[in-house]
Amino acid sequence: MTRQQFLAKRIETIRNLISGEFPAVSSDRAKAASIDIVAVTKAASDEDFLAMASLNLPLAENRWDQLVSRMLMARNSSLDPSFHFIGALQRRSTKEKGIPVSLISTVDREGILPVLDHMALSHAVRQNILVEIDLSGIPGRSGVSGESLPALLDAISKIGSLRLRGILVMGVPPSPSGDLAETRRIFERGKNIYDWLAGQWPGIDTLSMGMSGDFLEAVRAGSTQLRLGAILFGKEEIIGKDHSV
């Protein structure tokens, strides 16, 4: 089995797990199929990156230099995947190395907006963005707080080069017993914020919640986009004995 075939099979398995969370009626199955899977390639080998780039999923990187390098690698291989940026947005690195991509998912403060505005205007594009919200209360985590969210949204509304598409919310590590109750609570709050925002802001369509360890909890909470890395590229036992590939 080639790596491309392995990854395609892994995607199929994950799609089946997602579908299993919905009743077997056509409308719900369509909803399951509409959930986007973003392949987080930041730790993938170049071989796996190119194999995944051929499978028509968006690819996510967390450093501008690696994103640019892999964009060129894909083009040199006659591939044209879409790219997302999911790393911390530092002013200097974004100003010096940032380029427009399909989606920048980690906007979390007003101070980065002028840099993104300049980048978008310099390339004559309207840049799609997500606001990253921290609902964990863990010190040092990236993401705007719920209390500061309205001010950030107001600032974004005044910049015509940026198009807000939704929000990104991360869960927390499981308890020592493996319980994900706190992550489920965070995802439920994230869905409430998303629904509120969608009622206030035109064009909101993306609720990015769920990674390899908690993607089914995110699906149950109403996520529209999953960011998956280890469960796509890792060993078979990551999915579990009942769902090995």
Report pLDDT digits (tens) over 29-46: 677 889 999 999 999 999
pLDDT of 194 higher than 60: yes
| SS3 label, residue 44 | coil
What's the rounded mean pLDDT across residues 106-124? Answer: 98
Percent of the chain with pLDDT over 70: 93
- From CA 229, how far away is CA 7, in angstroms rounded? 11
Confidence (pTM): 0.93
Alpha helix segments (H runs only) across 54-129: 64-76, 91-97, 113-122
Tokens of 112: 């980065």
Tokens of 18: 């997602």
For residue 237, give the DSSP letter.
Answer: G
Report pLDDT digits (tens) over 129-183: 999 999 998 888 999 999 999 999 999 999 999 999 999 999 998 877 778 999 9
Q: b/e for 126-154, b at 16 or more Cβ within 10 A? A: ebbbbbbbbbbeeeeeebbeeeebeebbe
Residues paired with 70 in a beta bridge: none
CA-atom Rg of the chain in angstroms: 18
pLDDT of 244 higher than 80: no
Q: Which domains does the chain have, with CATH numbers?
A: 3-235 (3.20.20.10)
